[in-house]
Amino acid sequence: MVDKDIKVEIMVDEKEKKHSFIKKYWLNIILLLATILSTLFAGAFQETGKFVDSVRNLGLGLPFSFSLIIILLSHELGHYFASRYHNVPASLPYFLPVPHPLVGTFGAFIKMKGKIRDRNSLMDLGAAGPFAGMIVAIPILIIGINHSQVVPLSEVVGKQLWPTLGASILFRSIVYALKGYIPGDMGLMLHPMAYAAWIGLWVTSINLIPIGQLDGGHILYALLRKKSIWVSRVVFILILLMGLLWMGWLFWGFFTAVVIRFHHPPPLDDEKPLDRKRKIVGVLSIILLVITFLPTPFFE
């Protein structure tokens, strides 16, 4: 028989733990709930094309919302668990809701505190997120493409349609494998899951851009150390030039120069060489950037 005093102590302790969790992570929780709402609206708007109907039928946005959030969450948890493995303190993910009918979110991020031990740890921290996100995004993309429809371009208005959206090498390859050749007068009307995965691939490629403290910047520094800053500057110029293809790159160029910047702080042991496994991870990360990159994400 369990003593009543012990029962009360256990109940109080559990209540205090729950209260402590909410008090500690209240901002993470609020941002996650807001992002669920904003992506539900974005998904519903893509189905209805009308603001009022979207608000009334948020359930229509569930396939898009769930798919996108789980991809973004997987990416950030990849960073989180890599940080824990290397004893680098890290926050839980902070989601970024945005009331935009095309996406509903600007993604998510985690905050890392403290110094990174060496370049091997830095490589793990940079690459873990993109690869974790891809492990989830590719199955969602395959399911979504299987449920997408090939339709005449002249018959579709206001839907997420390829080739109106840009296609990375990976996206194009999966479409071709599942749908075959699509004639020029036809388009692929994307299922919400496919569109969410398309955004996931795009976010992956942006994070892998080798500049500053983006994921790609971590990977680049792990590979090249202090020489990485020169590569970052060349990439910055290329981003500005890509503004001729898509105006959004000019925003990213400004964001890079003002917020991200080019300098990457060294790890504690900057002299320890990168081991063979991490060099392979670095090469695979470059390949992942190439096959997911979108010079022109959106066409008129």
pLDDT digits (tens, 9 = 90+) for 177-203: 999 998 888 889 899 999 999 999 999
Return the bridge partners of 239, or none. Answer: none
Task: Confirm if 263 and 229 have CB atoms less than 8 A apart.
Answer: yes
Please check whether residue 5 lies inside any domain of the structure: no
Q: What 8-state DSSP symbol labels residue 257? A: I
Q: What is the pLDDT of residue 17?
A: 59
Please check whether residue 121 lies inside any domain of the structure: yes
Please tell me the distance from the alpha carbon of residue 256 to that of residue 210, in angstroms, as a whole number.
11
Domain limits for position 131: 17-292
Give the chain's residues under pLDDT 70.
1-19, 21, 52, 156-163, 300
Q: What is the pLDDT of residue 35?
A: 97
Please check whether residue 298 lies inside any domain of the structure: no
Q: What 8-state DSSP symbol labels residue 256? A: I
Selection from 235, 233, 225, 239 nearest residue 282 by Cα = 225
Chain centroid to CA 151:
29
Please check whether residue 219 lies inside any domain of the structure: yes
Buried b (16+ CB within 10 A) or exposed e, 58-70: bebbebbbbbbbb
Please check whether residue 297 lies inside any domain of the structure: no
pTM of the entire structure? 0.89
Please check whether residue 7 lies inside any domain of the structure: no
How many Cβ atoms from other residues are within 10 Å of residue 33's Cβ?
A: 12
Q: What is the pLDDT of residue 52?
A: 63
**290 phi/psi in degrees, rounded to 5:** -65, -45
Please check whether residue 215 lies inside any domain of the structure: yes
Q: Per the structure, how many domains does the chain have?
A: 1
Task: Confirm if 108 and 95 have CB atoms less than 8 A apart.
Answer: yes
